[in-house]
Amino acid sequence: MDTSSPRSNFIRDIIDADLESGRHTRVATRFPPEPNGYLHIGHAKSICLNFGIARDYGGTCNLRFDDTNPEKESEEFERAIADDVRWLGFSWDDRYYHASDYFTQLHDYAVRLIRDGKAYVDSLSAEDIRQYRGTLTEPGRDSPYRARSVEENLELFARMRAGEFADGAHVLRAKIDMASPNINLRDPTLYRIRRTEHHRTGAAWHIYPMYDYTHCISDALEHITHSLCTLEFEDHRPLYDWVLDQLPDLAHPQQIEFARLEVNYSITSKRKLLALVQENLVSGWDDPRLPTLKGLRRRGYPPAALRDFCERVGITKKQTTIDVGVLENCVREELDRSAPRVMAVLDPLKLVIENYPEGQVEDMPAQNHPKDESFGTRTVPFSRELFIEREDFMEDPPKKFFRLGPGREVRLRYGYLVTCTGFERNANGEVVTVRCTYDPATRGGNAPDGRQVKGTIHWVSAAHAVDAEVRLYDRLFDIEDPGSADDFRAHLNPTSMTVIADAKLEPSLAHAAPEARFQFERLGYFCADRLDHQPGRPVFNRTVSLKESWAKGNDRKR
């Protein structure tokens, strides 16, 4: 993990001031996801922030699941979230918690609020509660049940707890101020009835606490010092503070809000991501075109690149949308450092070296990484018949085309200089074979007479090539802000995935491990698919091209 000095931001400034003033002598944060879906790129920012601050200040960060809505939560989502956090490079040690761990305490604190006249059971319907709440310009009205006695509220709440009422019959509300300019303080709901089994507590509870009530008390019970939330919770902070002010024996963490991470050409709405999956518009939550962490991982994004990206975009109060090119460049930079080089041909065209001895095979030494000698070398077999990229040959090339054409000489990477002598077509007029001769004195690609050859192309020995499926991925949407469209489905990029069924790979890739990352020379960075890749039938996903190409003709192949 990168241990370089983190960039300063307003949250770190607050923490520095708190430590200097003695308000806190330690730093404790938490990452509190709901186990009702899969994490996406926006969550990566929160993970990196919370765990990163704890790491940099020698503090702690808890992983806590906000599992208060049993209708939408599951162990599957919980396991996936924990796996994503680990994959990003962070550890919570033994600080693995759930809001459901505190159901008894949360209930007991609710009873205390009722006894203190700070909460009441309301029997209005959900629609009536909305009507009574008022608007941004008009104050709310007191519920007719707001004046219930403490004894009646305690009795009704106990019966709610016992499961005597149907869903929606009653709710427990805080008694704050129905005229508050902040709608979140207009007697917000603290508990609602849900006669649904919980994936951890089973049928033990018939009432479940709301997020705003649960979150602050969970923070306090865990002695969190700085509760970091995205900007949509800024208007909820007065409620966070109000609840804890009524329970003075609890610690009082400081809630601080920051701008969430949005990336163009993608969506992070759980509802819209769910629609993509359920309507089979993508292959699943781990589809490499999705901004889910599962999808980014399957596409081959290194966790170090995501951490770098989150550090680069920074922490601010201003909501902005980051160009996806920034993310892709972080991926390129990380893979340029860490991915070994190999040769692969995605659109194969047969090349026959007419004067090369039939049956002869040479093992050509090749660098695994031209910028880092520690990667070592490998050998690649060279023979009379090779595969080259179809686009590396033109029968009538323009002057500045420095690859192969009739009479043109090029360098075969790690091999020899060859000169095209002709080509053959099939019945459809397509070029199917290119013929050439080689200069035996140019092994390794250098001419002893010093002649200059501008073009270098890659290749794979036909007799030794490994057949593979290669999936070329690009942006899922063809507009920058698909989330704002009337129907985001109408803007799906029809060529966001291209499957090449007959790619040819050098033999060193035959036994590549799932998730192994490589640079296919001249083609881009690729990753062995973590699910479909297997010995004997490799499957590789293109992680990112070698350079940005979207703005230059939307070239989706290179």
Per-residue pLDDT reduced to its tens digit, 103-118: 999 999 999 999 999 9
Catalytic residue check, 530:
no
Give the pLDDT confidence score for residue 5 in this predicted structure.
Answer: 65
Return the closest-CA partner of residue 188 out of 117, 257, 242: 242
Assessment of whether the complete model's pTM goes beyond 0.85: yes
What are the start-end ranges of the E strands in 376-430?
Answer: 377-382, 385-389, 409-412, 417-425
pLDDT for 31 beyond 60: yes
Side-chain half-sphere exposure of 24, counting CA atoms within 13 A:
20
pLDDT tier, 554 (very low <50, low <70, confident <90, very high otherwise): very low
CA dihedral (540, 544, 550, 551) in degrees, to 10, reads: -160
Q: Which of 26-40, 54-68, 458-472, 544-558 has the lowest mean pLDDT?
A: 544-558
Burial string for 469-478 (b: 16+ CB within 10 Å, else e) reads bbbbbbbbbb
Asked if 406 and 420 touch (Cβ cutoff 8 Å), the reply is yes
Give the pLDDT confidence score for residue 215 in this predicted structure.
Answer: 97
pLDDT tier, 549 (very low <50, low <70, confident <90, very high otherwise): low
pLDDT tier, 157 (very low <50, low <70, confident <90, very high otherwise): very high
Cα distance between residue 398 and residue 337, in whole Å: 35
Cα distance between residue 400 and residue 237, in whole Å: 63
Higher pLDDT, 400 or 68: 68
pLDDT tier, 4 (very low <50, low <70, confident <90, very high otherwise): low
pLDDT for 556 beyond 70: no
Catalytic residue check, 34:
yes
- The proportion of the chain whose per-residue pLDDT surpasses 90, expressed as a percent, equals 93
**Average pLDDT, integer, range 423-446:** 95
**Average pLDDT, integer, range 203-225:** 98
- Phi, psi (degrees; rounded to nearest 5) at 526: -135, 155
Show Cβ contacts of residue 549 under 8 Å, excluding neighbours closer than 6 positions. 555, 556, 558
Lay out the sheet containing 456-457: strands in order across: 456-457, 409-412, 417-425, 431-438, 348-353, 385-389, 460-461
Give the pLDDT confidence score for residue 558 in this predicted structure.
Answer: 35
Tokens standing for residue 86: 């680990």
Cα distance between residue 38 and residue 84, in whole Å: 9
- Walk me through the domains of the chain, giving residue ranges and CATH numbers: 10-260 (3.40.50.620), 270-340+467-544 (2.40.240.10), 344-458 (2.40.240.10)
Alpha-helical segments (H) within 339-435: none
Side-chain half-sphere exposure of 275, counting CA atoms within 13 A:
10
Catalytic residue among 30, 34, 200, 328: 34
Cα distance between residue 233 and residue 239, in whole Å: 10
Burial string for 434-456 (b: 16+ CB within 10 Å, else e) reads bbbbbbeebbebeeeeeeebebb
Give the pLDDT confidence score for residue 152 in this predicted structure.
Answer: 98
Catalytic residue among 112, 133, 159, 270: 270
Residue 185's identity, in one-letter code, is L
457-475: pLDDT as tens digits: 999 999 999 999 999 999 9
Burial class (CB in 10 A: 0-12, 13-18, 19+), 241: middle
Give the pLDDT confidence score for residue 3 in this predicted structure.
Answer: 47
SS3 content of the chain, % helix, strand, coil (to 5): 30, 25, 45
Cα distance between residue 172 and residue 212, in whole Å: 13
Give the pLDDT confidence score for residue 8 in this predicted structure.
Answer: 86
Cα distance between residue 352 and residue 394, in whole Å: 16
- Phi, psi (degrees; rounded to nearest 5) at 346: -90, -30
Which sign does the torsion angle of CA 88, 92, 94, 95 carry? negative
Side-chain half-sphere exposure of 217, counting CA atoms within 13 A:
25
132-152: pLDDT as tens digits: 999 999 999 999 999 999 999
Tokens 């509300």 belong to 173
235-270: pLDDT as tens digits: 999 999 999 999 999 999 999 999 999 999 999 999
Greatest extent of the chain over all pairs of C-alpha atoms, in Å: 102
Cα distance between residue 530 and residue 8, in whole Å: 36
Give the pLDDT confidence score for residue 11 in this predicted structure.
Answer: 97
Cα distance between residue 532 and residue 529, in whole Å: 6
Show Cβ contacts of residue 94 under 8 Å, excluding neighbours closer than 6 positions. none
Show Cβ contacts of residue 21 under 8 Å, excluding neighbours closer than 6 positions. none
- The proportion of the chain whose per-residue pLDDT surpasses 70, expressed as a percent, equals 97
Give the pLDDT confidence score for residue 557 in this predicted structure.
Answer: 37
Give the pLDDT confidence score for residue 450 in this predicted structure.
Answer: 84
Residue 359's identity, in one-letter code, is G
Catalytic residue check, 173:
no
Catalytic residue among 12, 133, 146, 260: 260
pLDDT tier, 12 (very low <50, low <70, confident <90, very high otherwise): very high
Give the pLDDT confidence score for residue 555 in this predicted structure.
Answer: 40
Which sign does the torsion angle of CA 273, 279, 285, 291 carry? negative
308-353: pLDDT as tens digits: 999 999 999 999 999 999 999 999 999 999 999 999 999 999 999 9
Cα distance between residue 281 and residue 98, in whole Å: 33
